[in-house]
Amino acid sequence: MDIFLAAFGALLSVMNPLGTVPIFVGLTQQHSRAERSAVALRTAVSALIILMVSFFAGTYVLAFFGISISSLRIAGGLIIASSGFALLTGRFTEHKGMKRRRVWEDAETRDEISLTPLAIPMIAGPGTISLLITYDQTHTTFPEVLAILGAILSASVVVYVTLRGSHFIVSRMGASGINALSRVIGFVVIAIGVEFVASAAVSLVRSASMGVG
């Protein structure tokens, strides 16, 4: 249960479905309520598939590129921390590349927006993928794997519920309310990224000291 709660909290913070709400609202203004629900469902399912593949393919990705788990944790921690800073400074959309005019124009004219830009990179970005690859390396027992899978599934359900109610959320909270909450989430995301880098640095120092000894 502890692993599930920790993984669920980390995933939800890094994925930050609330930060995707303004993008979702902007791209689905002309959709009916049923169409918005369908887009939200396809986005959540697409994100779920991406997260599952990232988790189970982690070992093979690291082996193929010859990347150590410590290096991945440092790189992933930096990416996660940068996402947190983007949330903290109100630049999450820009950080995901959605401030570029061409990107917006392409998204607005595309019939299917659930996979991209909503699932990738808004929900399942590099930070989320690196987080799951790290979990694949550090949680290897059957109960731990089940806990991680449960966290992935639960986070995907939250993504669906959040996007499905995005127009209601915007009408109630407004842009300022979403921005304020995103800044709080950003602080948590930064802490997660720093923890990743710090733990990897400690591991590298220990390995170096053992090698010298």
pLDDT tens per residue across all 213 residues of the chain: 789 999 999 898 888 888 888 888 878 887 888 988 999 999 999 999 999 998 988 778 778 888 888 888 888 888 888 878 887 777 666 655 555 555 445 555 555 778 877 888 788 888 888 888 888 888 889 999 999 999 999 999 999 999 999 888 888 877 677 777 777 888 888 888 888 888 888 887 877 776 655
Give the span between the Cα atoms of 95 and 100, in whole angstroms. Answer: 10
H-state helical runs in 89-165: 92-95, 101-109, 126-138, 142-164
The pLDDT value given to residue 93:
62
Residue 163 CA: distances (Å) to CA of 16, 101, 133, 160, 200: 11, 23, 25, 5, 34
Amino acid identity at 49: I
Buried/exposed code over 96-115 (b: 16+ C-beta within 10 A; e: otherwise): bebeeeeebeebeeeeebbb
Burial string for 22-59 (b: 16+ CB within 10 Å, else e) reads bbbbebbeeeeeeebbebbebbbbbbbebbeebbeebe
